Amino acid sequence: MKQSATITGVITLTGLGNPIILGSNTNKTFKISLAEWSLHRSLQSKDIDHLDFCSIAKNKFNISAVEYVNSFFFDKAKNLTYLKEMKMRADDLGVKSLLIMCDGEGNIGDPDSNKRTQAVENHYKWAEAAQYLGCHSIRVNARSFGTYNDQIELATDGLRRLTEFCDTLGINTIVENHGGLSSNGKWLSAVMEKVDHPRVGTLPDFGNFKLEEDKWYDRYKGMKEIMPYAKAVSAKSHEFDKHGNETGTDYFKMIKIVLNAGYHGYVGIEYEGTRHSEMEGIQLTLELLKKVRSMEGIKL
């Protein structure tokens, strides 16, 4: 069910020693969006209001596409007045609403059948809100418990049921590598293959490959494994060196993986560091993505 296009014919360009292989159509690169989690500290402290997110994206960073996080309007999923205000602000600014990242609604792969069903149904309202806002997807977590294979079966069951509901709304269900076995690229790929639905996919995150305390999955291997199912991508960032490069992730290598998978959609800035202010971290990530994108041979 791998959904990304296969690239034939290549151009090689080099950045920091990492060749980036592009398809024969060099007009195709990637677009940049902003994930609301980049501002989570300011939102949690109420220094910023959720309704101002689109304005910040557009007016401070000239970014015209955003990814919402449900925790910043958790009690507003069914509040049509509030959703209308969100949509109006985005539309007035010319900002595209891409997806809603959903947390706090239960485990899609819960071993308890009743809890799993409840978790699936808890996401319905977010799919409906996403449809109203003009998003293409909701991001969910494939958290489960048990053996490796048991968790594949449980996550598959929950995801398939949720995806079938979302399909009636024209909304995708996408899974982020977000800890536990979901950060194991081989495991998440197996879940995608087993669900086997055109509306299910992944949201590969550059940095979220922590399996458990002090145990990590190779991020480049993981990205290669889950990119074929990608319907969105998160450019996670924490710290930067004096050259503006992210210290934990080779962005040139990651973008090579993204483009080689045939993905040319939005790559969402998701700054999560502490050394810089959130505004500075977003700007540094934006500049790095632009640097990678503007390498010789890529036409913007």
Report domain extents, the chain.
Answer: 11-293
Which among 52, 75, 65, 155 has a CA at the least distance from the CA of 111? 155
CA angle 263, 188, 112 (to 5 degrees): 140
Share of the chain above pLDDT 70, in %: 89
Which among 101, 8, 119, 5 has a CA at the least distance from the CA of 53? 101
Q: How confident is residue 214, by pLDDT bands cut at 50, 70 and 90?
A: confident
Q: Contact 256/16 with Cβ under 8 angstroms?
A: no
- The pair phi, psi for residue 39, each rounded to 5°, is -110, 25
CA distance 189 to 182: 9
pLDDT tops 60 at residue 18: no
CATH number for the segment(s) 11-293: 3.20.20.150
CA distance 155 to 109: 4
Interhelix angle 124-133/80-93, rounded to 10 degrees, is: 40
- Is 0.85 surpassed by the pTM of this model? yes
CA distance 258 to 267: 9
How does pLDDT run across 135-165, given as a tens digit for each residue? 999 999 999 999 999 999 999 999 999 999 9
Q: How confident is residue 2, by pLDDT bands cut at 50, 70 and 90?
A: low
What is the mean pLDDT of the segment spanning 258-284?
98
Two tokens, residue 22: 């592009």
How does pLDDT run across 215-259, given as a tens digit for each residue? 999 999 999 999 999 999 999 999 999 999 999 999 999 999 999
Which among 289, 260, 269, 268 has a CA at the least distance from the CA of 28? 260
